[in-house]
A and B are shown apart, each in its own frame.
Chain A
Amino acid sequence: MDRFSAELMRGSLDLMVLTVLMSGAQYGYSMQQRLRDATAGRVGLPAGTLYPLLHRLETEKLIRSRWDESSGRRRKWYEITKTGRARLGSQAGQWLAYAECIRSLLNAVPELRPATA
């Protein structure tokens, strides 16, 4: 299937980034890779979107950063904070409920039901 449209993803980017960070500290590029691999290429977060997003999440204290030079370059690692975990929990709950609502709505229209094998 094709990549999800930017319009569809808007509003859930925070959720995606915080979810990726739940598995441990990441740097920007590795986060982008992980998102792409976890979604089989359907979520491609451009670098020009990812880095401002990371800076904004850090401003909101949902993630924190630290610098590391063990790779030979200055690399900025991010990890989720306690506040970020709480926000993710709340957002994930809302998103799943929202997705269920949309699913129920779409299932009511036979032409829109997803094809089953």
Chain B
Amino acid sequence: MSEQEFELYLKLLARCLNLTSDQRGAIADELRDHLEERLQELALAGVPREKAVFQALDEFGDAAALAAHFTRIARLKRRRFLMRLSLGSVVLLAAGLLVAFAFWPEHRVLQGPPSLFADANTKPAVSGKTSLAAAKPARPAEKRAPQEPIVPAINAEHPLSSDVGQYPRIEAALEATADFTIEPEGLKDAVEFIAQRYQIPILFDTQSLDNANIDTSIEVKMPIAGLKVRQLLALLLRQLPQRLGFDIQDGVLQITTVEKLAEHRVVVVYDCRDLIHLRSIYPTSVPRPQTEPALERTGVSGGGHSGGAASAPVLWQPAGAAADKPSHKNERNAKRASAAVDVPLINVIQYAGDPGDWDEEGGPAKITEIGGLLVVYQNPMVHQQVKRILADLRRMKHEGAFATLDKEHGTTPNTPVPAEKDPPASSGRQPAAAY
């Protein structure tokens, strides 16, 4: 028997394996390593080469029988996964039916106050349509029907990404619901499982992780099923002592340090023409009535918005009774008039991320408005926060929050806010926002 028999055995084994090509290749590599080691041992013991090959192969036994063993074990693994998937699906379906019933318009039992900022860590970016199939790219010509949810689905395409092909697929996977748990295992294994489950490329930035002495074999777990994959990944990464994050770069989902992510800034254009009329609660061309109550910009603790004291979210609300003293009213109005040139939307966006990061504070990040389009140069983590801010603003607008404020205080924005939930007359159409 020659060494050719060696490879023939492995080929026969691979052919008998009823597995994917990757799995077959992995088994062949593992056995080849063993055979080579065994041959060396037998050679050192003085066994002639041909006899050694025969003996080594004989120790593996019949190729077909061995292949049947491996296939059976792989099927067992698949069966267990399917059982967990089925059980998880049933539980999710039951939970989904309960939630749908509880929140159905006629049966709505919970209606909390609107929050300006969503918790960046747990709240989904959008409500309503979230599937990739439902997402539509920004098209200024579209007119949204009144019944359509005002909060758009996440745009399938990153506006300035060169990886349009992979980006939507990975984004869709991140928004999918992980109906499985993660048993205690190394982070790398858990991530590999997710990558295989959703068929998306996930890479560890080994250079950055090695430089930061991060061990990806540290054990992680997630006993809760039903999270979005994005949340699941974030929660798994949070179990490491160091801060890790992820982003889609160069067609792959890359896991790296938060510091490295923060350095990776990209430009994203957000179509905010449906929101930009918020810029002028007090238009400079309209004289302010003297009797109107002042609107105060107050800090309100938002829903889990991270950041320092300077980054408290903003709501426009009537001033308190104590502030309505006539002696202060004109002074306040003067201040408000000078602030009318502010673009509150930009100010609100700049609460995302580290305040010192924005160019106003001397940082490298930038934000500019061009005809209702917000051009934001920031890192991916802040872009995620920006998306959530815009989604919440749109939801509030849909619920009539801004129209109520304008009506209450007798203000007239430059772009009239309609009483009903129709698109602004001046814009003519309601654009489907990019984010």
Using a CB–CB cutoff of 8 Å, the interface residues on chain A facing chain B are 27-29, 46-48, 51-52, 55-56, 59, 61, 64, 66-67, 71, 73-76, 81-83
Contacts and interface: CB of A to CB of B under 8 A. Distances in A.
B185 A48 contact: no
Contacts, number: 72
A52 B73 CA distance: 7
B66 to A, nearest CB: 5
Contacts of B32: 73-74
A64 B186 contact: yes
B76 interface: yes
B234 to A, nearest CB: 23
B70 interface: yes
Contacts of A73: 29, 32-33, 36
Interface string B60-101: 110001100110011011001000000000000000000000
Interface residues of B, number: 31
B34 interface: yes
Nearest to B75: A59
What are the 5 tightest A-B residue pairs by CB atom distance, in nearest-first order?
A: A48-B61, A52-B69, A74-B29, A29-B37, A59-B77
17 contacts: A28-B34, A29-B37, A47-B31, A47-B60, A48-B59, A52-B70, A52-B73, A55-B74, A56-B76, A64-B186, A64-B189, A73-B32, A73-B33, A74-B33, A76-B30, A81-B219, A83-B183
Interface of B: 26-27, 29-34, 36-38, 59-61, 65-66, 69-70, 73-74, 76-77, 80, 183-186, 188-189, 217, 219
B295 to A, nearest CB: 57
A1 B288 CA distance: 104
Nearest to B221: A82
Contacts of A64: 185-186, 189
Nearest to A29: B37
Contacts of B65: 48
Given A59-B80, A67-B26, 5 more contacts: A48-B69, A51-B34, A66-B217, A74-B30, A81-B185
Contacts of A59: 73, 76-77, 80
Contacts of A52: 66, 69-70, 73
A59 B19 CA distance: 15
A69 to B, nearest CB: 10
